[in-house]
Chains A and B, each alone.
Chain A
Amino acid sequence: MNKTHDELKSLIAPYVLGAIPPEEMEEVRSHIISCEECMAEADSYSGAVSSLALSVPPEAVPDTLVENVMRQVRDEKGEQQASVTQLRGPRPVYNIVAAAAALVIVAVLAVALITTTNELDDTQAELAIERQRVEQLAQTQGAMRLGGPSGDVVGAMLPTDDGGVFVVHGLDDAPSDHTYQVWLIDDGQPTSAGTFDPASGLGGLQTDHSLDGVDEVAVTVEPEGGSRAPTGAPVLRT
């Protein structure tokens, strides 16, 4: 930890090539997204990295591929319908990961974003930069991107060594006596990752719940303090 700027700058090429060891990823990623110089260099390599992927000549697809995928799609549709039926029954007792006192722990990345924003004048251009940073986070390896119906809101759930970090940009304040709650959905079963209240449209939280096996992430508006299970439609989802 605590690498110098030059040390972190020397890791930009390994970063865009996906060649950073997992134990160094958090530090490198946090620096790059918060340093304009490093972010610009990382962006400048995007075409070169794409060219590596596109240089591979196509091959004939196995005959079974399409039908295998479509069979899986149909199987999952059947499972989802069963899951919805189950949710409409008696409310199951879900594992509440975070105690109420510690529900909102804003992670390093979210702190950096929010601090930056509070120091700004909230002009459209400056907020657009923050939105772009969340978009950048959402595109990093292992991240899940969340979007809303309007397209103005963007969120990212990123895996960490001991859980995950969620950041979002563009959310209005929750209605009075309400809060936003993040859900990790595994095989149709939602588990709370915690609640948060956005500031200047930016919000975030840290969860110690592993993202392994999580198929979807969703955000709902819930009564203050959060709910045991989602009570309304998602305002944001993967």
Chain B
Amino acid sequence: MDRSEDRALIDRLLERDEDALREVMTTYGGLVFAMAKRVVADPTMAEEVTQDAFLALWRRPSSYNSDRGSLQSFLLGVTRNKAIDLVRHEESLKKAKDALITEAEATSDGESPNELAVGMEERDELRAALVSISEVQREAVVLAYFGGRTYREVADELGIPEGTAKTRLRDGLAKLRQVLANRTERA
């Protein structure tokens, strides 16, 4: 789905078109639910987060700005934030922890339940990019992004100085940026 299609969907949501909301859920539901589950590590809580994310879009379609990225990225960002809020609220960080680190190394499997904007091949490349950064960098990045830890908590949890945690996060992102840039050049 390209940006013009995203904008068309948002225009329909602004007109309170319920079919547009169904379309958004059909297209992105699998990804949004997976992101929520990745963070909260509990299917029931993940469903709650997924519902909240779509309801938030329905209540404020104008919060999405197509100049800033795809609707898919926007929804995943909203979902990630809501999931982390819930995890913090529920104080179930420990429960979610085990699912975090190893997940970054797992390869995707199974069939896609929906027709998605990011195909399997591209997703595998993104996951390969994540695996390509050093283990200590990946550990820090995954804890921060999917685990909702602050850089201070990352340092505390990994038993490293805060400066080292900040460096690992920066170097991890910089490496990811480089891998993605190389991929774009090859394409």
Pick from A50, A53, A238 the residue with the most CB of B within 10 Å.
A53
Q: List, in ascending order, chain B residues with CB within 8 A of A18's CB.
A: 80-81, 84, 144-145, 148
Task: Let me know if B149 and A62 touch, CB within 8 A.
Answer: no
Interface string of B123-145 (1 = CB under 8 A from A): 10011011000000000010011
Task: Let me know if A12 and B170 touch, CB within 8 A.
Answer: yes
Task: Let me know if B166 and A135 touch, CB within 8 A.
Answer: no
Q: How far is the CA of A16 from the CA of B152 in the complex (A)?
A: 15
Given contacts A58-B30, A58-B116, A65-B29, contact A47 B177 (CB under 8 A): yes
Given contacts A54-B72, A238-B62, contact A10 B166 (CB under 8 A): yes
Q: How far is the CA of A164 from the CA of B123 in the complex (A)?
A: 38
Separation in Å of the B60 CB from the closest CB of chain A? 5
Q: List, in ascending order, chain B residues with CB within 8 A of A53's CB.
A: 35, 73, 76-77, 80
Binds B, one of A82-90, A143-151, A196-204, A223-231: A143-151
Task: Let me know if B37 and A59 touch, CB within 8 A.
Answer: yes
Closest B residue to A60 using CB positions:
B113
Which of B34, B65, B77, B173 lies in contact with A56, CB distance below 8 A?
A: B34
Q: List, in ascending order, chain B residues with CB within 8 A of A238's CB.
A: 60, 62-63
Interface string of B41-70 (1 = CB under 8 A from A): 001000100110011001110110101110
Task: Let me know if A73 and B58 touch, CB within 8 A.
Answer: yes
Which of B31, B76, B77, B180 lies in contact with A48, CB distance below 8 A?
A: B180
The B interface is mostly helix, strand or loop, or mixed, namely helix
Task: Let me know if A19 and B144 touch, CB within 8 A.
Answer: yes
Q: How far is the CA of A55 from the CA of B120 in the complex (A)?
A: 10
Q: Is A141 an interface residue (CB 8 A)?
A: yes
Task: Let me know if B141 and A56 touch, CB within 8 A.
Answer: no
Q: List, in ascending order, chain A residues with CB within 8 A of B33's CB.
A: 58-62, 65
Q: Is A20 an interface residue (CB 8 A)?
A: yes
Q: Is A232 an interface residue (CB 8 A)?
A: no
Task: Let me know if A56 and B150 touch, CB within 8 A.
Answer: no
Given contacts A14-B169, A18-B144, A21-B150, contact A145 B65 (CB under 8 A): yes
Closest A residue to B170 using CB positions:
A13
Q: Is A72 an interface residue (CB 8 A)?
A: yes
Closest B residue to A146 using CB positions:
B62
Q: Is A66 an interface residue (CB 8 A)?
A: yes
Q: Is B110 an interface residue (CB 8 A)?
A: yes
Q: List, in ascending order, chain A residues with CB within 8 A of B150's CB.
A: 14, 19-21
Interface string of B165-177 (1 = CB under 8 A from A): 0110110111011
Interface string of A58-80 (1 = CB under 8 A from B): 11111011101110110010000
Q: Is B1 an interface residue (CB 8 A)?
A: no
Closest B residue to A215 using CB positions:
B59
Q: How far is the CA of A195 from the CA of B72 in the complex (A)?
A: 36
Q: List, in ascending order, chain B residues with CB within 8 A of A145's CB.
A: 60, 62-63, 65
Closest A residue to B169 using CB positions:
A13
Q: List, in ascending order, chain A residues with CB within 8 A of B146's CB.
A: 52
Q: Is B93 an interface residue (CB 8 A)?
A: no
Q: Is B5 an interface residue (CB 8 A)?
A: no
Which A positions have Cβ atoms within 8 angstroms of B?
10-14, 16-21, 44-62, 64-66, 68-70, 72-73, 76, 135, 138-139, 141-142, 144-147, 215-216, 237-238
Q: Across chains A and B, which 6 residue pairs bring their CB atoms closest together, nearest first?
A: A58-B30, A57-B108, A53-B76, A48-B176, A13-B170, A19-B144
Provide 10 A-B residue pairs closer than 8 Å at the C-beta atoms, listed in order of the A residue. Answer: A55-B127, A58-B116, A61-B33, A65-B47, A66-B22, A72-B51, A138-B65, A144-B60, A216-B59, A238-B63
